[in-house]
Amino acid sequence: MDTLIIIIFILGYLAITLEHNLKLDKLIPALAMMAILWALVSFGIDDFTSWFDSAGHKLVEGFSGFTSEEKHHLLEETLLHHLGKTAEILFFLLGAMTIVEIIDYFDGFATFKNYIKTKKKKKLLWIFAALAFILSAIIDNLTATIVLITILQKIINDKNTRLWFAGLIVIAANAGGAWSPIGDVTTTMLWIGKKVTTFKLIEYLIIPSLLCVLVPVLIASFMKPFKGSLDVVEGETNGKPNKYGPIMLYLGLFAIIFVPIFKTITHLPPYVGMMLSLSVVGIFAEIYSRSQFSISHAIDTEGDDSQGFHSPVHQSLSKIEMPSVLFFFGILMAVAALESLGMLFIGAEHLKVIIPNNDIVILLLGIGSAVVDNVPLVAASMGMFQAGIDDHIWHFIAYSAGTGGSMLIIGSAAGVVAMGMEKINFFWYFKNIAWLAAIGFLVGALAFMLLRNF
């Protein structure tokens, strides 16, 4: 049964990795893999000799001597435990994504575009890299990439020039997401899983992450694509700007930043603070939406909204990337099945014998995250390593998984969304951007290893 479970996991993993070749959304194999794995665990529960206690971070003593009824009871408790931990991450992400969509509803992100006045490509590169690095730490790297490429499309007409800018935005967004507990899904997983704390994560990763983006951008600024000036810079936005846009932008960003503060003060899980932030942003969104109501809105409004206007909260919720949320659910619960059987714990012990240096293992994890999705890799590492909270292992994993994906266009959520928005060719990115990302990744990794002892 153990062998069959591993085969199912590998096949599901391959299907996720090859989603573009198979033309099959990765959420489908992720959900199928999760359901099949837990079904196999349930069918073979009487034959398993080991079980991992996720709450106690150790193997359950005397599990092989448990009765069938005791084993099934433990299975149900373990499943509920993992469901609860996974739900914490998913509801946190849903809250953050909804706040971002509410900001976009009021065209809040157009505020950034108004600050960009230069025509010089080199200066524009540094502006976008800085925005990507900072924004991704606040609203996550995926959303930051979407926002900045949308702005990029309104500023730069030349397709080839935009590709180069988009490639550097991916590197900067992933680097920015690595040092923030809300900047990347994998970092959020480590934070909610009580592997890292906000202040220690920032303390140890801000400099490596900064170097990870500074070095590639510095090199790129001397390259031909970023020399000279743009032919056209479109300064005007289409239509009348929303007067509540800037207010909702700053309110939404503050609400997201408030979440780690709320967690520190109350010691409650982050999703509780995120729900509070969402409710506050939602109140202002509804108030500002109603203040825009007029006869013309009532006539133009489609649907059956009896009040004559669409609720910004409802509309924002309808735009949430539910496929991504379901994918995270499927992959996290699938990895939880392997963890529950003790496979990750036992596998980690064997890996430590083969490669005793944890730094090499984590660097390989970072490189691997460029090839396969970093969510299951980090989920697996959380079951493999048993280090305490804020151990340097977790900080290095956060950095490697967060920035290693930049080396391939399919290696991160930011890369995949940039690929879709700008139709970036896999091999074009590999030829022109991958080496820059690799240099930044290695420089940041070396900086982390040098600084962690201080």
CA distance 214 to 443: 10
Whether residue 446 has pLDDT greater than 90: yes
Residue-wise pLDDT tens digits, 318-342: 888 788 788 878 888 888 888 888 7
CA distance 106 to 82: 37
Whether residue 53 has pLDDT greater than 90: no
Q: Which of 97, 87, 103 is nearest to 140 (CA)?
A: 97
Whether residue 369 has pLDDT greater than 50: yes
CA distance 4 to 2: 6
Q: What are phi and psi of 58, to 5 degrees?
A: -155, 165
Whether residue 39 has pLDDT greater than 50: yes
Res 399: pLDDT: 94
CB 187 within 8 A of CB 178: yes
How confident is residue 101, by pLDDT bands cut at 50, 70 and 90?
Answer: confident
CA distance 383 to 381: 5
Residue-wise pLDDT tens digits, 245-269: 889 988 988 898 888 888 889 988 8
How confident is residue 403, by pLDDT bands cut at 50, 70 and 90?
Answer: very high
Q: Look up the pTM and report it.
A: 0.72
Q: Which residues contact 335 (CB under 8 A, 6 or more apart)?
A: 344, 376, 379, 380, 383
Whether residue 344 has pLDDT greater than 90: no
Res 126: pLDDT: 94
Residue-wise pLDDT tens digits, 177-188: 999 988 888 898
Res 372: pLDDT: 66
CA distance 163 to 279: 38
CA distance 19 to 27: 9
CA distance 342 to 65: 16
Q: Which of 200, 167, 148 is nearest to 398 (CA)?
A: 200
Per-position DSSP letters for 31-49, written without gaps between them: HHHHHHHHHHHHHTTTT--
